[in-house]
Structure 1
Amino acid sequence: MKNWIELLSEFKSKRQPVALVTVTKCSGSAPCVVSSRMIVTEDKTSYGTIGGGKLEYNAIDEAINALKENKIIESSYTLGPDFAQCCGGKVEFIIEPMNQSPELFLFGAGHIGTEIAKLLIDTPFKVTLIDSREHWLAEVNLDESIVKCQVKENDFKTFRDAVNWGKNCYVLVLTHNHLIDFDVVAMALENETKYLGLIGSKTKKARFNKMLISEMNIKDGMKNVTCPIGLPIGGDTPKEIAISVVAQLLQVHYQAIAQ
């Protein structure tokens, strides 16, 4: 195959999720060597080899699981009768999901929202800052890596379409209007997210919980919503609150990878 670094670069440019399988240890008679590599896509297409046969079939299946769960997997196999092999060798490998960066969709380009976006520069997060106030985002000066998205208050479909829903989707709700906050939270609960956070007090959480159950027929209410947001590190300035929120986002992201 092509140089595996070149292949990974091509997949990265296309934002196509792949898993990199790398042999980390071989002992006894084995059909591969340490550093043998294979790249696996979501449709089970593979590039390169770690020895073929049942070992490789199993590795491909585990690579698909690594992509689905977006976590690193370490595995090992003894090549005995179960593999129709009697060589008795052992192979260990690590599977790393690639190109599945967490994406944060941040509703509300106020003081705290913009500070969160700035603090997430040079982290794994891709950030989209969303606001419905006319001309508001044009006045916000941010790094070019942060996507600014204007939505329309009278067309809620634009809110839904602004988000790339899925297992790598993080949503933060910090708008200028409590009614918009509620609508965005209700919308997010009907779609797939990794994390959904709402700025506010325990009183706001209780109020939204009641409204979600009684008005939206969302039986779990606010059960799957983080509110208040941020780690309890202290401080109440916009930047200090933003630091606590970014710390929480990174904690959720890295804990998910390590599990």
Structure 2
Amino acid sequence: MTIWEACQKLTSEGTSFVMVTMTGVRGSAPQDIGAKMLVTKDGLFYGTVGGGKVEMASIKKSQEILKGEQSPPESVVWNLQKDIGMSCGGEVVMLFEHHHQSNWPIVIFGAGHVAQALTRILSKLNCSVTCVDSREEWVAKLEGVKGIHHPTPKEMVKEFSPHCYFMSMTMGHAHDVPILHEIAKHAPDCPYIGVIGSDVKGIKIKKELKDLGVSDEFLKKLRVPMGLPIGTNQPYEIAISIVAELLQVRDAALEKT
């Protein structure tokens, strides 16, 4: 795995990281100019800027950066003796670049035609998207988002944050209901819960969920059909209507904070 593939992996997983690059050296130094490493909140993820104390100091600074919001690149000059406590008598210049990932997490159950269109659009926005499906061949078609193949998608619900935006776009309401029931138990206060389908499908799903003991509060927020009432039934037009509704809900929530 190259450093750029490592960057892509972290980005696709929605993991914030700092890229550290040694951009200057005077005297003795533990690595060459251009050495890079990637640091997450858990520590060193990839690469090295020389190991030892200079690397430990770089990791510590990176983790401090990751505690905040998006920040501009920062260049730091360290005297290896005075600032780092090394026996080397040189200086290094380290560039810290903060790659902050979105805190707008979206989870889609179902990877069919509309989900394929929807994920391609969402992959261009500042959000982190995960799509779960029991059909391995459909998961393999996803582009730009994290795909998960699981034989029983409802079992994946508890793996996600209750603050995610959830959508169910499975093969039919018989598959939607078990997933929605799990979401209602795990994330009753999630900011968005929607299902693709018709008004009639919505009535049937809500009745079945009510019979399963799902609260009226959750049923009121359940959007079936999801998406704004615009466009045709062409998959990308449906996807655009859903994205528009997601943005509407997200922006309304931001205004309240």
Taking structure 1 as reference, are residues 10 and 217 closer, same or farther at Cα in structure 2, changes over 3 Å only?
same
Alpha-carbon RMSD across the aligned residues, in angstroms, is 2.9
In 2, are the aligned partners of 1:230 and 1:247 still within 8 Å (CA)?
yes
Q: Structure 1: where are the runs of 5+ without partners?
A: 1-7, 17-38, 43-97
SS of equivalent to 2:202: helix
SS of equivalent to 2:197: coil
Which amino acid is 1:175 matched to?
T
Q: Quote the Cα distance in structure 1 between the aligned partners of 2:169 and 2:229.
A: 18
In 2, are the aligned partners of 1:15 and 1:99 still within 8 Å (CA)?
no
Q: Tell me the alpha carbon deviations over residues 44-102 of structure 1, each in whole angstroms, 9 at most, x when there is no partner.
A: xxxxxxxxxxxxxxxxxxxxxxxxxxxxxxxxxxxxxxxxxxxxxxxxxxxxxx86521
Q: Which residue of 1 aligns with 2:196?
A: 199
Q: Which residue of 2 aligns with 1:152?
A: 151
Which amino acid is 1:199 matched to?
I
Q: Which residue of 2 aligns with 1:182?
A: 177
Q: Quote the Cα distance in structure 1 between the aligned partners of 2:40 and 2:194.
A: 29
> Which of the numbers 233, 239, 243 marks the counterpart of 2:236?
239
Q: Quote the Cα distance in structure 1 between the aligned partners of 2:67 and 2:143.
A: 34
Q: Tell me the alpha carbon deviations over residues 176-233 of structure 1, each in whole angstroms, 9 at most, x when there is no partner.
A: 132111111111111222211011111111111111122x111316212111111112
Identity, % of aligned positions = 29
The alignment of Structure 1 onto Structure 2 pairs a total of residues equal to: 168
Taking structure 1 as reference, are residues 15 and 198 closer, same or farther at Cα in structure 2, changes over 3 Å only?
farther
Q: Which residue of 1 aligns with 2:246?
A: 249
Q: Which residue of 2 aligns with 1:223?
A: 220
Return the offset for 1:256.
1.2
Which amino acid is 1:211 matched to?
E
Q: Structure 2: where are the runs of 5+ without partners?
A: 1-15, 20-37, 43-64, 69-99
Q: Quote the Cα distance in structure 2 between the aligned partners of 1:231 and 1:182.
A: 22
Taking structure 1 as reference, are residues 206 and 127 closer, same or farther at Cα in structure 2, changes over 3 Å only?
same
Instruction: Give me the TM-score of the superposition, normalised by structure 1.
Output: 0.57
Q: Quote the Cα distance in structure 2 between the aligned partners of 1:131 and 1:191.
A: 19
Q: Quote the Cα distance in structure 2 between the aligned partners of 1:40 and 1:109.
A: 33
Shift >4 Å, 4+ stretches: 8-13, 39-42
Q: Tell me the alpha carbon deviations over residues 107-162 of structure 1, each in whole angstroms, 9 at most, x when there is no partner.
A: 11111001000001231211111111243322x1513xx10100113x742x224x
In 1, are the aligned partners of 2:17 and 2:41 still within 8 Å (CA)?
no
Instruction: Give me the TM-score of the superposition, normalised by structure 2.
Output: 0.58
